[in-house]
Chains A and B, each alone.
Chain A
């Protein structure tokens, strides 16, 4: 019950990484905390995100060339932001994972100045991978269709609920290729610039939280995608290569929301501890579980591009655990805080709604478990 360790979650990073994390935590505990409620209600915190970018929160995981950088530090940065504001933390993930696509594309038109401007936060963008990921898992069908034309493709269709985009943003997305023969055997992945001709952003109905994440439906009408925007063609091998890193990065969001909830429990402990001790999921229990999970994730982060089946199962399970822990911690924090946590202005009830998003955003808990079950089943000859 030591209140002094609230602001200083230990991390083995040293040197530049430690400096980056220090700067990120300063922003999170300062301006980001002030803006958190507005971000929840719908104000996109562009300036704060760009300050996080300047601090290095979007580039830690990007090594030289196509190499992995420091994934643990990238996850810790996302967690530090999510601890204060889940919506902002989620946008850190969007930006980080879009940077991952650019870096891994191997397309010189994307890995040069485009990646540099993205990694620094000068330019911002997100990811429209929910539908393709679910399509590959056999849950949905591809919503964007690409028709080959001289020099590229024409893309049509509507992608719902793409976060962290806007008129001067972009997103990494996939489209199924419709061949002239009528066949569709592969997909392309590309950078979709929101200001390109034929792209229209349509507002989405309100969510219960996370409204400041600039989430739109993207409608594409004959949008031309040339070679300078292609990330992967065909896309499946690319997705297979980055999938583990994609999911692993996302754990920072859940870790941070869970940590924020635990913080809230400690804050009411001096006044309410005498009655809160009758509750399940006490902050010391949850903290120990969170610390163990964080350590597990740090181990996985040392090898983010591993193609081992066991590694991928562990990544999926760690992501599921982060969701479950965020749900339990946020729920318990509300019980610990009581009515004061139920105020519309309270971060405690905001975090309950954020934790719901942690658990349902792709890959949702149910998707993760389905995929773990699939990967755990031995393959046999057909």
Chain B
């Protein structure tokens, strides 16, 4: 360094450097006199054998440091007017803790707030908690909904409107029923009533690795998929031709992607509906780039050297693709239920709850939505959630629950398969309790309507089958009408539709 360069360097403002390990700040202005560095020692001039005076690491473990700007005040986001406080010993504070910010979680919060303006409510969500309609995820393209428009209300806005405390991006880990607390990744939370609205997660067969296969069960994963599909039309292998798989295939094909739809069964939708429907759907898809391959058993997915993916099967060769999506059903994680000792129905894949009010086997803990099982039947549909939320809110607030009122809204329940090329409507008769449909078909599995495992087996009859529409009805051996079905653009007349239908899955 020349004398003039040195003189120039001396004019530079003093710099600070921070130790990456312990956070000690070396200030050139102050030096480190204890280690023989007088004030004004430039960092560059510190000898290499100098050690951090706090933790002893070397000079190379320091980086330049700029002090953060001063902060006026800590802005408390999502702070409720009545934060949950640790209760005085022996007094059970009245606070409701809701796990899950999907439709079920938000609906319970709405129902509770409607009944009690001051109740302390905390909502814990593994995602950011934004309010959206999950059924839209498989029809967004057909309905022209942009990805950014799927959010109906931001989580922060909804939390403020309902005056509740929201903990977003928080993992619920363990329920302690003795202390009535929920352990989370943001610390333990106390509750007087706990509502599990945790939903169900994709049940991915072991052959499908999570790092290679998409599962579309929430807005976050859907956004990521759409982003991955943005660049160009792609070839997508979709595994599972159930309700969601068929809707997604239909929608992504409309978006210009080429779809290969695989299923273990010979026809689409055959787990839920008679074979005639699936066959009709395939004909309706003839104008779309959808290839259905039935009776296929997937054995694995691998990444090819070129970057693409290969789906291997048992005896049916392989299918190469740009993206692989699995729509192979849902199951509820049993972690929370297990930790609390809640009765869990492993076969149905959910937490057992009482039909009239959604209470689990442990008093004060409720469950609803995708994670709840009533009478051995899980409900993975939107329609019952509002009724369930009302029943739970009534039970928690100790008010009467007008189940009749809640149930009367839908004397029958309707399931719509929103495949735009062939809309399908399944109408099932009868509702009794808030959480289920005790008479005839249970509200959950549509397969119940074709089941012959009951003492009064049902059978499908064709009422109409022409170019316009397919109309069918399911009638029990004793002659009781269990369900009606129509597929095609020509829907049944109002009289035929008896009773009036409500859209189960899309609240749009």
B57 interface neighbour in A158, A310, A376, Cβ under 8 Å: A158
B 296-326 to A, binary, CB cutoff 8 A, 1 in contact else 0: 0000000000000000000000000001100
Residue A233 CB within 8 A of the other chain? no
Return chain B residues, CB-CB under 8 Å to A202. 51, 56
B 157-173 to A, binary, CB cutoff 8 A, 1 in contact else 0: 00000000000011101
Residue A288 CB within 8 A of the other chain? yes
Verify B176–A280 contact, CB threshold 8 A. Answer: no
Q: How many residues of A contact B (CB 8 A)?
A: 40
Verify B51–A380 contact, CB threshold 8 A. Answer: no
**A-binding segment of B209-217, B275-283, B356-364:** B209-217
**B-binding segment of A80-88, A183-191, A246-254, A313-321:** A313-321
Whether A131 touches B171, Cβ cut-off 8 Å, given contacts A217-B57, A369-B185, A372-B185, is no
B134 smallest CB distance to A (angstroms)? 15
Closest chain A residue to B202, Cβ basis: A378
Residue B178 CB within 8 A of the other chain? yes
B153 smallest CB distance to A (angstroms)? 23
B: contact size bracket? 35 or more
Cα A160 to Cα B185 in complex, Å, equals 28
Cα A189 to Cα B439 in complex, Å, equals 65
Give the A-binding residues of B (Cβ under 8 A): 20-22, 51-58, 61, 86, 88-89, 126, 169-171, 173-174, 176, 178-179, 183, 185-188, 201, 210-215, 221, 224, 228, 323-324, 335
Return chain B residues, CB-CB under 8 Å to A314. 173-174
B170 smallest CB distance to A (angstroms)? 7
Residue A141 CB within 8 A of the other chain? yes
B18 smallest CB distance to A (angstroms)? 13
Return chain B residues, CB-CB under 8 Å to A382. 211
Residue A66 CB within 8 A of the other chain? no
Return chain A residues, CB-CB under 8 Å to B178. 288-289, 292
Cα A244 to Cα B113 in complex, Å, equals 42
Q: Is the interface of B mostly helix, strand, loop or mixed?
A: loop
Whether A380 touches B214, Cβ cut-off 8 Å, given contacts A217-B55, A219-B51, A292-B178, is yes
- Which of B185, B201, B324: most chain A CB closer than 10 A? B185
Return chain A residues, CB-CB under 8 Å to B185. 369-370, 372-373, 376
Return chain B residues, CB-CB under 8 Å to A161. 55
Verify B56–A321 contact, CB threshold 8 A. Answer: no
A356 smallest CB distance to B (angstroms)? 16
A 139-162 to B, binary, CB cutoff 8 A, 1 in contact else 0: 011010000000000000111110
Could you list 13 A-B pairs, sorted by A, with CB under 8 Å?
A131-B21, A158-B56, A160-B55, A160-B56, A161-B55, A204-B55, A279-B89, A280-B86, A310-B335, A372-B171, A378-B221, A379-B211, A381-B228
Closest chain A residue to B53, Cβ basis: A205
Give the B-binding residues of A (Cβ under 8 A): 131, 140-141, 143, 157-161, 202, 204-205, 217, 219, 279-282, 285, 288-289, 292, 310, 313-314, 317, 320-321, 324, 369-370, 372-373, 376-382
Whether A378 touches B174, Cβ cut-off 8 Å, given contacts A202-B56, A285-B89, A289-B179, is no
Return chain A residues, CB-CB under 8 Å to B210. 378-380
Closest chain B residue to A217, Cβ basis: B56
Closest chain B residue to A201, Cβ basis: B56
Return chain A residues, CB-CB under 8 Å to B88. 280
Return chain A residues, CB-CB under 8 Å to B224. 380-381
Cα A321 to Cα B215 in complex, Å, equals 33
B212 interface neighbour in A131, A157, A381, Cβ under 8 Å: A381
Closest chain A residue to B127, Cβ basis: A377
Verify B51–A324 contact, CB threshold 8 A. Answer: no
Cα A369 to Cα B54 in complex, Å, equals 27
Return chain A residues, CB-CB under 8 Å to B215. 378, 380
Not counting A157-B57, A377-B126, a sample of 15 additional A-B residue pairs whose C-beta atoms are within 8 angstroms of each other reads A140-B21, A143-B57, A159-B57, A204-B55, A205-B54, A217-B51, A219-B56, A292-B176, A324-B188, A369-B187, A372-B173, A373-B170, A376-B171, A378-B210, A381-B212
